[in-house]
Homo-oligomer: A and B are copies of this chain.
Amino acid sequence: IPLSRTIRCICIETSTQSVNLRSVEKLEIIPASQSCPRVEIIATMKKNGEKRCLNPESKAIKNLLKAVRKERSKRSS
């Protein structure tokens, strides 16, 4: 019998709002684990340090990770 576990997700709700990479100071990706059964993606905004939980399923995140890749190739050329 599995013991009941305390669920400690950081995000209570996620935003599907799109986020511009230029306004992001840091992007944290926390893989699913025993303490939280889902991937969590947290963007810290440059402007006010606000932390915003993003929906990993959203287009916003797909675009953001694409922007990271693009920026990378731009910088390395």
The oligomer's copy count stands at: 2
Check: A13 CB closer than 8 A to any chain B CB: no
Dominant SS among interface residues on chain A: mixed
Could you tell me the distance in whole angstroms from the C-beta of A11 to the nearest C-beta in chain B?
Answer: 13
Residue in contact with A32 in the complex, picked from B32, B37, B39, B71, CB distance below 8 Å: B71
Q: Which residues of B contact A30 (CB under 8 A)?
A: 25-27
Q: Which residues of B contact A27 (CB under 8 A)?
A: 28-31
Question: Which A residues are within 8 Å of any B CB, using their own CB?
Answer: 21-22, 24-33, 37-39, 56-57, 65, 67-68, 71-72, 75-76
Nearest 5 CB-CB pairings of A with B:
A27-B29, A56-B72, A39-B72, A26-B30, A21-B31
